[in-house]
Structure 1
Amino acid sequence: MHIRSADTTIQKKRPLSPHLQVWRWHATMATSILHRASGSANYIGAGLMTLFLVCLAGGPESYQTIAPLFQGGLGIAVKVVLFLLAWSYGYHWLNGLRHLMWDAGLGFGPKTSNRNSWIIMIASPLPAVLIFALALGAN
């Protein structure tokens, strides 16, 4: 930043913003980044789910256009993507609950925040497993 005086320009020294490589990684940093990534994945997943539901609502002929996606080797890949999207939704939901706790003024201490971050990262696959268990049980 330059400050102009009557006849000279003085450059003011300001500290640079620290880069991620400077900081020691901890759980709350990971949950922050994962929350942003899962939000982006959820946005894409919502679009894909909308296309799927439109094909279902269009009747049997419309569904037949997407049915091959769920068969064979491609079907396995599609199911993996669906599981990862379900995991993303579960993670985002659980981390959203943590943000609601923060809105209530709870869980701001470093130990509590780190503990809650680890709990969320470890528990986040559970909603996806539950969704897939229910879906596979319905078949």
Structure 2
Amino acid sequence: MKTHTIDSTYRQFYIADAGLDPDAPEDWSDQHVLQRYNALTNIVALCTEGDISARVKPFAPGEKYQSEQEPDFEVRTQITILSGRLGVFGWPRETLEEYCVQPGKYLIYFRGFNLCQVNEERDFYTVEFEHAA
């Protein structure tokens, strides 16, 4: 598991179909920020807590984060991958990880930890993927 430190000036990073390279969601509401994501068909923007940097731990599809620590939040959403290339991107379109997958729908599990320590930059976020049947 690799931890990526991303620029979270815009408080978001992206899960996308890397082969399609879709545009990020631009229409944001308070509800999107509250639910911590804004999803289009082939790209999802996930919202971190801090606005300086964030530590993101993406896991290959099927891998799980093992910890006894309870997350401060958990969000579930989904994405459709047509190209077979599932990508995790920082801003602006910085490739963090890319996975070869079977085309189809994937569930995204996004969790935040240590949010009470965001000012000390000890918060971190995990992202897991599961092929939806």
Shared fold (TM-score, shorter chain, > 0.5):
no
TM-score range, shorter chain: under 0.3
Higher relative contact order (CA 8 A, sep 6+): 2
Give me the TM-score of the superposition, normalised by structure 2.
0.22
The structure whose residues are more often helix, as a share, is 1
What TM-score do the two structures reach when normalised by structure 1? 0.21
